[in-house]
Amino acid sequence: MRRRLPLVLGTLGAAAVVATAAGPMPGAGAASHASAPTPAPAIQHVIVVMQSGHSFDNYFGTRRGVDGIPANACQPLAPKSTTCDVKPYHLSLDQARAGLADSLTVTRKAINGGKMNGFVSAQSNAAIGTVAMGYLNSSDLPYYASLASRFTLFDHFYAASQAGALPNRLVSVAATDGGLTSNQAPAGGISTPTIFDRLDAAGLGWKYYVQGYKGPATPTQPASVGDQVRTPLLAMPSVTGTPDRAGKIVDTSQYYVDLAKGQLPAVSYVTGSVNSERSPQNPALGEAFVRTLVNALMQSSAWRHTALLLTYDDSGGWYDHSLPPTIGGTQVGLRVPAILVSPYARAGYVDSTQLDTASIPAMIESVFHLPPLTAQDAGSKSILTAVDTHQQPIAPAISPSGAAAVVVPRPAVATIYLLYGLAFVGACLLIALAFVRSRRDPLAAAETLPSPEAPE
Amino acid sequence: MTLLSDERAEVSAPPIDEPRPLDPWRGRVTVPTTVWLSLTLVVGLVVRLVNLNVLGFNSDEAVYAGQSASLAGNPLFVNQFPIFRAHPLLLPTLMSPLFSSGTPDLRGRYVVALLGVGTLFAVFLVGRELYGSKTGLIGALLLAIMPYHVIVTRQLLLDGPALLCITFAFWMFARFVRTERLEWLAASAATLGLAVLTKETAVVLAGTMVIFLLVSAEVRRPGRALALTVGVLVAVSLVFPLAISLAGRSSTGQNYLTWQLTRSSNHAETFYLTAIPAAIGFALIAVAALGLVFRVNRTWRELLLVLWVLVPFVIFEIYPLKGYQYLLPLAPPLAVLAARAMTTLHLPGRWDRFTSSIARPAVAAVVVASLLTGTWSVLFPSGATALAGQGGVAGGREAGKWIGANLVPGTELMTIGPSVANILEYYGHRSAQGLSVSTDPLHRNPAYTPIYNPDLSVRDGQFSYLVWDAYSAFRSPSSAHRLQVLVTRYHGIPIHTERSNGQPIIVIYEVHP
């Protein structure tokens, strides 16, 4: 895989140059000043779908072919104990709705200086802590499993920050956590440059789609803490104070309209709220929300030129066995699930490149040839290692749900053919027997007699 | 009952083992007869093939074709159409090689049309066996242009092929009655068994045979004949439940049995009296009836034909579930009875000299003209019909193909009812579910999956496309209204419309919660 990296980056770099030279991208909102026909870049749209609060091991730890839950994984109940008290176990979807804590303190306790043995004890009590060792599998989240099978799954994608959702979401748009150590934005708001500044400067369109978004905050109806955590732009005066930019934060219903009208911007961020998956929300409902987003994309004309990254802001307090690396002198957070969905994603591939949340703005910068925001994204490895623009594009295919997902086992077809065949042949033999015997029948001779037409 | 009394009074069975007297009219088929029969079969074939492809499959056709394709292992259908549904599998089994690849429709209809022409030949044999070649020829011609038989045998339905087996079975049964050779009775019962394996409702015709054996003085050992008939019929028919059981689908069979036995009435009591006579032909029925009334020398032949008409009619009239094509078994005996009346018509007294030159041709002309008028409207319809079994669903095939070409695999569609869902699944290879399917397992076809919470299903993204169609909206206005509510609530955008005479007949909406 690493040997292919230069080739891929070169290809995408060339694509980005072509894209820049060609000027506008369909739906990107820039004016056209191309003078000669040039091949369209493979990736013209990037969509970042960021859900909340699950670790890689929690969702994909039992999947084959990934760096999943080790066979000897076990956690002590007490903070400084070395005993094996709680082993990973299969959760029900209801159990997965336990309210786990995932603050900076909790995450540090879980990592425990690199021993990775504090996941149970870091929680408020043993009962909840035990839940942290649970995992879901492909039968619980069949759609995510199918996405991983058909596209590229990253198994070393780390949350950039250990401090929770908001710092990580800030990294996803600004390549820095801004020094945040919790989900509370500073009183004066956040004032760091973002990828959207870069996009605006390049004349590229963007939108931030938020599930259930009710519109800009007003003095009587300020943005809630939850909204700000999921949408750090709401904590940025440079965005909320500019109607044009604030108007780009919209409800997810607009996402479908934009897709249907062929007006998907160059860069889209999408976040669930009531279906964000963070416990105690039901992961299955979040999965359904994501399925709707991806289905709509696949059914649109934008599919052919889009890379959609599905990932999570942080690990949500769930167990993950992989020791977070230290990048730029700071130990990053725990692994989170990440799947790249694109016609050019490498199908069924597990990409083990070490990535983190800062790789998201880095990917956007790579695709659209934008300068980096910080040293964090400048030094980040690219998600685009999972992209091969020379491959046969993956055709869209919606994973069925509901009744369509029920596969009825095939009955014994040979038995059906045998029995009906026997009945048919048997009946034909009886008919043939009747004909043969009737020829020997003296009464049959009557049929050879010339006769008048009617009996009467 | 008068008929039965007459027959008993006139017929006295010869002693056992004494050879039967020969029917004087029986003889080799002559060249003119062969020519006329060939012409009749050609006419029958033409009216069954003209404009055969104007409309795509209706719901039942899609199901039978889907079963055949699924049996053949056609990858487009194996996960979409379950092999076991309500009916036996003889026809899908025999047709399955034709459906092993692609999305064929016309070739299935060709098969049924050819089998329908085969029924014309069987009617000729029945008429000839009972009354002679001329009656056989006229009977075959009447059936060839009878709208009822033409309609049903232009569709990939089970009823046409089942009728072929039924008619051959009665021809062999008549031969048994004439010759008393038990091998003909065994062959007849086995052929009726094949009819049952084609469509289980054919079993009601066993009632005709049983009653005939019990009441006719023509059969000298009715007990022996009855035992043989029932034994062979049961032996052949047992394949139906046996295949379900050995293929590991016992519960499926039980589900369908429960559903069939507890289905509520789907049509009024007068359904058959209002829907079927016109399709058979009023003139034909009148001539057949008048022939019975005025021809007093009735024999076992008329008894057999009348029982062939009455038994299925009475049983299906009593049975709460009604279907347009259920009375198709009445068509051959009525055609033969009408032909008998035409060939034996005599004018009274001094007018008798005009019988051959005027009366018989005039009656025949009236009957044939009335049948042709009906058949013409079948071949060149002026409007859509909304009665199941009467034809294809306008726009269904085209909408299905559009879906297959434009909607991403895996897409699920919500329709008003299961009929159009079946069609869209067949042509579009996308899962479709009907809004009108009951959530009560006792009130729905076990093959269908209900949508328990349509609103939630749309919001969850299970259904991104809602399909309105005029055919289902006519049959289930309340479900059509519910679908329209969902379309409005979730900002439905019509992305494809099929039209007929400028009017929308199928509209596919894209919805987003």
* Shared-domain flag, residues A426 and A303: no
Looking at the complex, does the CB of residue A399 fall below 8 Å from at least one CB of chain B?
Answer: yes
Å from A309 to nearest chain B CA?
Answer: 19
Task: Give tens-digit pLDDT for A102-161.
Answer: 899 999 999 999 999 999 999 988 888 999 999 999 888 888 998 999 999 999 999 999
Looking at the complex, does the CB of residue A422 fall below 8 Å from at least one CB of chain B?
Answer: yes
* Shared-domain flag, residues A139 and A121: yes
Mean pLDDT along residues A55-83: 93
Q: Element (H or E) spanning A196, and its range? A: helix A195-202
Task: Please enumerate in sequence order all residues whose Cβ is within 8 A of that of A331, keeping only pairs 6 or more positions apart, or say none.
Answer: A111, A162, A324, A325
Output the pLDDT for position A289: 87
Q: How many residues does chain B have?
A: 513
Confidence of residue A45 (pLDDT cuts 50, 70, 90): very high
Task: Give tens-digit pLDDT for B416-469.
Answer: 999 999 999 999 998 899 999 888 777 777 778 888 889 888 887 778 899 999
Q: Point out the residue among B78, B187, B412 whose CB comes nearest to the CB of A401.
A: B412
- Cβ of B512 within 8 Å of Cβ of A400? The answer is no
- Check pLDDT > 70 for residue B366: yes
CB of B179 closer than 8 Å to CB of A435 = no
Residue A6 in domain: no
Q: Looking at this predicted complex, what is its ipTM?
A: 0.86
Q: Which domain does A129 fall in, by range?
A: 38-405
Instruction: Tell which A residues from 137 to 176 touch B, by Cβ distance under 8 Å.
Output: none
Task: Give tens-digit pLDDT for B109-119.
Answer: 999 999 999 99
Residue A74 in domain: yes
Residue A14 in domain: no
Can you tell me whether residue A131 is helix, strand or coil?
helix
Axis crossing angle, helix B204-215 with helix B222-237, rounded to the nearest 10: 170
Task: Please enumerate in sequence order all residues whose Cβ is within 8 A of that of B188, keeping only pairs 6 or more positions apart, or say none.
Answer: B169, B170, B172, B173, B175, B176, B209, B229
Per-residue CA distances from B114 to B111, B217, B327 (Å): 5, 37, 20
Closest chain B residue by Cα to residue A294: B461
* Shared-domain flag, residues A206 and A256: yes
* Shared-domain flag, residues A360 and A434: no
Q: What is the token pair recorded at A231? A: 């949408």
What mean pLDDT value characterizes chain A?
Answer: 84
* Shared-domain flag, residues A53 and A165: yes
CB of B475 closer than 8 Å to CB of B267 = no
What mean pLDDT value characterizes chain B?
Answer: 86
Mutation test of the interface with chain A: which of B234, B460, B464, choosing the one with the most A Cβ atoms within 10 A?
Answer: B460
* Shared-domain flag, residues A135 and A227: yes
Eight-class DSSP state of B97: G
- Tally A–B CB contacts below 8 A: 200
Q: Which residue has the higher pLDDT, A107 or A401?
A: A107
Can you tell me whether residue B13 is helix, strand or coil?
coil
* Distance in angstroms between the alpha carbons of the first and the last residue of chain B: 67
Å from B23 to nearest chain A CA?
Answer: 7
Can you tell me whether residue A403 is helix, strand or coil?
helix
Å from A110 to nearest chain B CA?
Answer: 35
Can you tell me whether residue B508 is helix, strand or coil?
strand
Mutation test of the interface with chain B: which of A261, A415, A443, choosing the one with the most B Cβ atoms within 10 A?
Answer: A443
CB of B279 closer than 8 Å to CB of B385 = no
* Shared-domain flag, residues A217 and A151: yes
Output the pLDDT for position A143: 87
- Cβ of B26 within 8 Å of Cβ of A422? The answer is no
Output the pLDDT for position A257: 87
Q: Which residue has the higher pLDDT, A97 or B365?
A: B365
* Shared-domain flag, residues A255 and A398: yes
* Shared-domain flag, residues A345 and A436: no
Domain count, chain A: 2
Eight-class DSSP state of A455: -
| Distance separating alpha carbons of residues A145 and A140, to the nearest angstrom | 9
Task: Please enumerate in sequence order all residues whose Cβ is within 8 A of that of A143, keeping only pairs 6 or more positions apart, or say none.
Answer: A287, A288, A290, A291, A399, A401
- Cβ of A455 within 8 Å of Cβ of B25? The answer is yes
Closest chain B residue by Cα to residue A256: B512
* Shared-domain flag, residues A144 and A53: yes
pTM over 0.80? The answer is no
Output the pLDDT for position B259: 65
Closest chain B residue by Cα to residue A417: B93
Looking at the complex, does the CB of residue A260 fall below 8 Å from at least one CB of chain B?
Answer: yes
Confidence of residue B5 (pLDDT cuts 50, 70, 90): very low
| Distance separating alpha carbons of residues B66 and B81, to the nearest angstrom | 6
| Distance separating alpha carbons of residues A456 and A443, to the nearest angstrom | 20
| Distance separating alpha carbons of residues B3 and B174, to the nearest angstrom | 18
Confidence of residue A410 (pLDDT cuts 50, 70, 90): confident
Q: Point out the residue among A257, A424, A441 whose CB comes nearest to the CB of B194.
A: A424
- Check pLDDT > 60 for residue A23: no
Tell me, what CATH number does A293's domain have?
A: 3.40.720.10
* Shared-domain flag, residues A303 and A428: no
* Shared-domain flag, residues A233 and A360: yes
